[in-house]
Structure 1
Amino acid sequence: MKIKKTIDKIPGGMMLIPLFLGAIIHTAVPGASDYFGGFTKGLMTGTVPILAVWFFCMGAAIDVRATGTVLRKSGTLVLTKIAVAWVIAMIAVQFMPAGGIQTGFFAGLSVLALISAMDMTNGGLYASIMQQYGTKEESGAFVLMSLESGPLVTMLILGSTGVAVFEPQLFVGAVLPFLVGFILGNLDHDLREYFGKATHTLIPFFGFALGCSIDLGVIADTGLLGILLGLAVIVVTGIPLILADKFIGRGNGTAGLAASSTAGAAVANPMLVANMKPEFLPAAEAATALVAACVIVTAILVPILTAYYSDYMKKKNPPVDLPPVQKAAV
């Protein structure tokens, strides 16, 4: 059976299929983890420890010896994505209650959901798109996108906008596994290779554990809103990213549009933040469902839009063909 190949055909499948499988189990048999106990309970409820290991391995996989072009391009995209999420949070705080909207079409929408959907780029999706439509340096720009992984950036935005107050040690705890992995991976190339292999392996495990905390009824209730939020992520983050890529990253905007997605790992952020600040628990489940919808929508649309945009830019600025004499000279 070609199970993996089938899952790989689905955008973000290795994260989303286990997540929905866990959600089905939790919805049908809410007490399954307590009933089985032991290692099975750990697998179904171990989102935080599984993600801690994943963050460590992610840090170990990053090579500090990146070229200046890669650092400039990735730094531009990462900082722009974070800045846009911060601005959106600042605006949303003025109109949205702390616990999110509770009634009407926008029920479930919260500042936590908005930040989680917008502050992280799907690095793997970006790299695969740019391998086809960009340069080698642009493709490698996903190197710094790993720094967005985890709840740290979401916590920083929530704290700076006054939505929540986090004790300093919580910020340290959120980033420490990543930093330890980063240091070890750059001290020893063999360790980087060893731990780096685990980054993809762990994705379905934390997806399943996360799904085991979600009621499918919540996903159904936020379905259309999640799709609209996914479209909003592409528009709201995509336009500034295109402009930043053009004027700072020295590209034509293709890399910016390719970075306007929602990372699969962002699905875990609402629950991770809620574990540290229980006041977010009422909004976390709906926020998780909304972010999951954003992952699917952006994973489908961003590659299509990037392809059209890339073709448009190539037609607008076609490469200059050199005369035969000049080609020979080159």
Structure 2
Amino acid sequence: MKINLFEKMNKVPGGLIIIPLLVAILLNTFAPQVLAIGGPTTALFKVGSSAMMGIFLLICGTSINIRQAGLPLYKGAVLLALKCIAGALAVWIVGTTFGPAGFLGISTLAFVACLTSSNSSLYIALCSNYGDASDAGAISVFCIKDGPFVTMMVLGVSGLANIPFAALLSMLIPLLIGMLWGNLDERFKQLCTASQPLIIIIMSFAIGANSSINTVFSAGLSGILLGIISALTGILFFFLYNLFLKRKTALGAALGTTAASSALTPAMVAQADPSLMVYVDAATAQLATASIITMLTAPVLVAWFDKRLKARMPEPVNIAAQEKPLPLASAPDKE
């Protein structure tokens, strides 16, 4: 009997991350000895998140198309810059005001990881209805923000976290290898695309296996608040993005999302700076909650802005209908 478990997980928003994460949290809460058996089981499902992150970054690198030029490259660079600036402002405002602990139960680590990420899959899906080929092509540059690299860079440069240069380089090397290999070998790129869901499932489980159910419940309300904040930034991103475009688009609002994969970022950042480990469990649960909320709000926001843009556009003038037919020349009189 086939149950198509993968297909059912895929139908749940962010299911490939959230479901393994919750299963691992429950298992670690009520039967932690199962994951502490040792050998390959523990290495893969308990302490394997670092290795899985390395593979995940390599896969992300294969999606970067270095041959992409022109408008897609420009749009992707603008989108990436806006996300980096948002993360820098988050560190400057929240980090300097409240410190690493953040505010209302949301740590600065969670806040920065939220604002430097966005749901790439949702962005691509929205491009099919509200964008064109150049918008879709922008993801080849924009996808650099997938994973913890941008979050670590922003925190490290700000001084709020002690991120060694070697840690940043360790995140960049798999990304560069994947980018080079993926651009030289199309078959390898296809292999990475097909295997990405498996890596995400295992990595999510390994991170959840180091948390408990108490953390998830305690982070519920703060996770909802983080999701609302992320969704509201979509309004700001809409206006900022269009400042750089001649032809206006509603897709800037799609930046007001939190990637489901951002739930994996706090654990990776804390490996570079162990002082942040105390915030990892809560931040993971908050980011997972925020990703679900923004999956629901972003399409509504993009559709609303798209409707407003189209309403402002002048209606095309039917020149043919306005032109009056010229009178036919009369035939010459016969003599």
Question: When the two structures are superposed, what TM-score results if normalisation uses the length of structure 2?
Answer: 0.89
Match of 1:71 among 70, 73, 77: 73
In the alignment, is the contact (CA less than 8 A) between 1:22 and 1:208 conserved in 2? yes
Match of 1:257 among 250, 253, 256: 253
Counterpart residue number, 2:41: 40
Equivalent position amino acid for 2:97 in 1: F
Long gaps (5+) in structure 1:
none
In the alignment, is the contact (CA less than 8 A) between 2:62 and 2:183 conserved in 1? yes
Q: CA deviation at 1:92?
A: 0.8
> Cα distance 1:289–1:258, how it changes in 2: closer, same or farther (>3 A)?
same
> Cα distance 1:324–1:274, how it changes in 2: closer, same or farther (>3 A)?
same
**Cα separation, 1, equivalents of 2:148 and 2:306:** 32
Q: Deviations over 1:180-203 (max 9, x none)?
A: 111111223333233333223322
Structure 1 residue 140 corresponds to structure 2 residue 137: yes
Q: CA deviation at 1:284?
A: 1.2
Q: CA deviation at 1:273?
A: 1.0
Equivalent position amino acid for 2:73 in 1: L
Counterpart residue number, 1:270: 266
Counterpart residue number, 1:229: 226
Match of 1:81 among 59, 80, 83: 83
Match of 1:53 among 52, 55, 69: 55
**Cα separation, 2, equivalents of 1:251 and 1:270:** 37
**Cα separation, 1, equivalents of 2:176 and 2:315:** 42
Q: Which has the larger radius of gyration?
A: 2
SS at match of 1:248: coil
In the alignment, is the contact (CA less than 8 A) between 2:131 and 2:249 conserved in 1? no
In the alignment, is the contact (CA less than 8 A) between 1:127 and 1:141 conserved in 2? no
Long gaps (5+) in structure 2:
323-335
Task: Figure out how many residues of one structure are paired with residues of the other and give that number.
Answer: 319
Identity within the alignment, %: 26
Greater displacement, 185-194 / 156-165? 185-194
Counterpart residue number, 2:290: 294
Equivalent position amino acid for 2:258 in 1: T
Equivalent position amino acid for 2:89 in 1: V
Give matches, 1:159-238, under 5 Å: 159-236=156-233, 238=234
Structure 1 residue 247 corresponds to structure 2 residue 248: no
**Cα separation, 2, equivalents of 1:95 and 1:267:** 24
Match of 1:149 among 146, 151, 155: 146
Question: When the two structures are superposed, what TM-score results if normalisation uses the length of structure 1?
Answer: 0.90
Equivalent position amino acid for 1:42 in 2: A
Give matches, 1:305-320, under 5 Å: 305-317=301-313, 320=316
> Cα distance 1:249–1:29, how it changes in 2: closer, same or farther (>3 A)?
farther
Counterpart residue number, 1:24: 26
Q: CA deviation at 1:95?
A: 2.1
Moved over 4 A (4+): none
Counterpart residue number, 1:14: 16
> Cα distance 1:34–1:133, how it changes in 2: closer, same or farther (>3 A)?
same
**Cα separation, 2, equivalents of 1:11 and 1:80:** 25
Equivalent position amino acid for 1:224 in 2: L
In the alignment, is the contact (CA less than 8 A) between 1:76 and 1:244 conserved in 2? no
Greater displacement, 202-211 / 243-252? 243-252
**Cα separation, 2, equivalents of 1:62 and 1:177:** 13
Q: CA deviation at 1:67?
A: 3.4
Structure 1 residue 121 corresponds to structure 2 residue 118: yes
